[in-house]
Amino acid sequence: MAAIKINNENSIDSMLTNSSSISYQVGKFQGTSTAFNYFITQLVGTRFLKTGHVLICDNTTIHLTEENKNLAEVLWKKKKLGTESTSLFPRVKSD
Amino acid sequence: MSNYVKRNSQGKYYTAGKKYSAETYASIFKVAVNYKQSTGAYPLPSHLSEMTSVSFKVAKKVILFVSGQSENLHKPSGHGYSGKGSMKLSMMDQFFLLGLYHTDPSRPLYSYCTELYEFSGTEVSTTTLCKWFRSSFNYKGTCRKPSIFPAQKFSQENIRKLEEYVNIVSYFDHRRFVFTDEKPMKGTDIYNKKFDVLPWMALYRLLTQVLIYATRTTLWQL
């Protein structure tokens, strides 16, 4: 998993060589929704992803289904969730 | 390549890449035949080479030709058709080979040879068939490294989505963007030494280049 911030970099190369613009995670289960969910959690926890940022990702299955089904909604409410719950992405209980 | 003059081991000058003239061969034949008439046997290639100041290979070819062991003085070589059975494959033979391939693609090459010989009596070598399978179709039969981007990269649907994406992101400050994606580490990503530092970095360079360029271009125009 990897995330790249544009910041004020002028070129792609300078952006890629700047460690503050890149966050990545190498693990065993990289192609799963759980891993992506955990990675987003890490980004928020390390303040790499802050309030006001725009998260852009492609529309693959692991980004949109299972544990990431409500990812967009959760990120919109990140500030509230951070104060209300210890977990960033609590599971939604079905009635 | 232009021809140039070289000197062989016997000290005779010749033009590289160009065969000897008919007169030269005739004189060599005459020496070989006279030698046989006087001694009862054709000379050895090295002996004929010394007598006529031609190379060992030329003398050997002449002796084989004069003694009847070889039908051709010159064999076609280099580019073009060469080898056993290369000119023999008719259209029917080629269709038959394709049929064999579709029946069982994993069959060995010598199986094609035997099947073709039983079918039409055409005798070809495995090398000829290998060359035929590699070069007779629109695409080369050798291994290729596929492009990272698929062929439908510039399809109408993708262009429409790109325009839609640019329209959306043009409302935001580009310094807020964070691009994320997963990259499973597999085979070549781990072991391929061509990548610079990290294997996914080259992929991300390509992926983000299009998105960021489109985004910045749009923002600067605003």
Residue-by-residue DSSP string for B37-82: HHHSSPPPHHHHHHHHT--HHHHHHHHHHHTTS-S-SS---SSSS-
Judged against a pLDDT cut of 50, whether residue B8 lies above it is answered with yes
Is the sign of the CA dihedral A46, A50, A55, A60 positive or negative? positive
User: Once rounded to an integer, what is the mean pLDDT over residues B49-78?
Assistant: 80
Residues B33 and B94 in one domain: no
What was the pLDDT predicted at B91?
79
Report if residue B111 sits inside a domain. Answer: yes
The secondary structure element, H or E, covering residue A5 is strand A2-5
Predicted pLDDT of residue A84: 45
Q: Which percentage of chain A shows pLDDT scores above 70?
A: 63
pLDDT value at B77 more than 60: no
**Over chain A, what is the mean pLDDT?**
72
Domain assignment present for residue B38? The answer is yes
Residues B158 and B175 in one domain: yes
Q: What is the mean pLDDT of chain B?
A: 76
Number of domains in chain B: 3
Residues B92 and B123 in one domain: yes
Asked if A56's CB is within 8 angstroms of B178's CB, the reply is yes
Kindly report the number of other CB atoms within 10 A of residue A45's CB atom: 11
Tens digits of residue pLDDT in B26-59: 888 889 888 988 888 889 988 888 888 888 888 8
Comparing CB atoms, the residue among A30, A35, A54 nearest residue B178 is: A54
Residue B72 lies in a domain: no
User: Which of A75-79, B101-105, B133-137 has the least mean pLDDT?
Assistant: A75-79
The single-letter code of the amino acid at A25 is Q
- Counting residues of chain B whose pLDDT is more than 70, the rounded percentage is 67
pLDDT in tens, B151-207: 677 788 888 988 988 888 888 887 888 888 877 655 555 555 554 555 555 556 656
CB nearest to A16's CB, from B176, B181, B201: B201
CA distance B184 to chain A (A): 5
Q: Is the pLDDT of residue A9 over 80?
A: no
Q: Name which of A8, A16, A31 is nearest B205 (Cβ-Cβ).
A: A16
Look at residue B21 and tell me if it is in a domain. yes
Shared domain for B11 and B61, answered yes or no, is yes
Cα B194 from Cα B92, distance rounded (Å):
45
Residues A64-88 have a mean pLDDT of 66
**Interface test mutation site (partner B, options A9, A26, A44, A54, max chain B beta carbons within 10 A):** A54
Q: Which residues of chain B make contact with A58, given a CB cutoff of 8 A? A: 181
Q: Of the candidates B115, B144, B173, which is a domain's last residue?
A: B144
Give this complex's ipTM.
0.74
In angstroms, rounded to a whole number, what is the distance separating the alpha carbons of residues A34 and A66? 8
Which residue has better confidence, A5 or B37? B37
For residue B192, the distance in angstroms to the closest alpha carbon of chain A comes to 17
Residues B155 and B214 in one domain: yes
Residue ending a domain, among B127, B144, B161, is: B144
**Distances in whole angstroms, Cα of residue B86 to Cα of each of A85, B99, B107:** 77, 19, 21
Residues B168 and B199 in one domain: yes
Mean pLDDT of all residues in B11-15 = 82
* The pLDDT value given to residue B184: 60
Give me the pLDDT at residue A85, please: 45
Instruction: Determine the average pLDDT of the residues in B110-121.
Output: 88
- Establish if B71 belongs to a structural domain: no
The pLDDT of residue A42 is above 60: yes
> Do the Cβ atoms of A6 and B175 come within 8 Å?
yes
Nearest to A44 by CA among A9, A12, A8, A3: A3
Q: Provide the whole-model pTM.
A: 0.39
The confidence band for A81, taking pLDDT boundaries of 50, 70 and 90, is very low
Q: Comparing A11 with A94, which gets the higher pLDDT?
A: A11
Strands (E), B72-176: none
Is the pLDDT at A68 greater than 50? The verdict is yes
Owning domain of residue B206: 151-221
Which has the closest alpha carbon to B141: B155, B131, B152?
Answer: B131
Q: Residue range B66-88: average pLDDT?
A: 63
For residues B71-94, give the mean pLDDT. Answer: 64
Is there a domain that residue B73 lies in?
A: no
Q: Which of A57, A59, A17, A75 is nearest to B208 (CA)?
A: A57
Using the 3D structure, point to which of B19, B40, B66 is the last residue of a domain: B66
State the pLDDT at residue A86. Answer: 44
Query: Does residue A3 have a pLDDT over 70?
Result: yes
Q: What is the CATH number of the domain that holds B35?
A: 1.10.10
| B36 in a structural domain | yes
